[in-house]
Structures are given as structure tokens and as C-alpha cells.
Amino acid sequence: LYPHIGAARLLGLTDGAVGRPGVDAWLRRLRETPWGSDDLALVRAWWLNRETQDVDTRRINWGTHRLEWFMANGFHDRFLEEIRADRVLWSVGPKNNALNSPLTPASA
């Protein structure tokens, strides 16, 4: 949940767990662990060099579970806004996924 809650904050989805004192305290505790601080450092370094990355960071690839949650929680209008603004990265079949990306590490 650690990266997902952080992503929710970036997306402005603050109606759920984001912004609640207990969740915010939990996120702070996680960032203080070695793996949490390492993860945060890697994410920050990646975003500092975003323009050199060969990844579409402007759009979101809505996997089935994410889209299902979004719709089940009433974010229909928000999703329509994302579509109209061309911020949705559509998956179009089993060959167009992360495992078939040229950016996927060989060990995947």
C-alpha cells in the first residue's frame, strides 16, 4: 500500500486514506525504515531525471483492479475527465503489457 497511497496523493484522490492522521503517521514511519527511505530516494532520483526516461509518465495505465475500484467508488466523472485529457494509457491485448515492454528487465 505504501506506493499506492503516495500515488493517490499525487492524483489528488484525498477522499480516502490520504490525509488522515493515522495513515500519514504510518507513511512517515515507513519512510524512516531503510527500505522506505531507499524507495523514496529511488523515486525522487527517477523523477529528477524524468525527461530522460523512456516511459510514458503523463498517462496512467488503468489495470483492471484499479479501474474497477475507481468505478465502484463513484469516480466516473473523474475517469471521463482523464480520458478527455488523454491521460489514460489503454492496454490493448495480452501482448501490450509490461512483460512485453522493451524496458522490462531480462529477469522478469
My answer on whether 66 and 38 are in the same domain is no
In the block, residue with C-alpha cell 499506492: 4
- Condensed to tens digits (0 to 9), the pLDDT of residues 19-54 reads 678 888 888 898 899 988 888 888 888 878 877 877
| CA distance linking residue 67 with residue 31, whole number of Å | 28
| CA distance linking residue 8 with residue 18, whole number of Å | 7
| CA distance linking residue 76 with residue 72, whole number of Å | 9
Q: Is residue 100 part of a domain?
A: no
Pairing of strands 60-61, 88-89: parallel
My answer on whether 22 and 4 are in the same domain is yes
Q: Is residue 105 part of a domain?
A: no
Q: What is the pLDDT of residue 107?
A: 54
> Does the predicted model carry a pTM greater than 0.85?
no
My answer on whether 37 and 62 are in the same domain is no
Domain count, the chain: 2
Max distance between CA atoms of the chain, in angstroms, equals 42
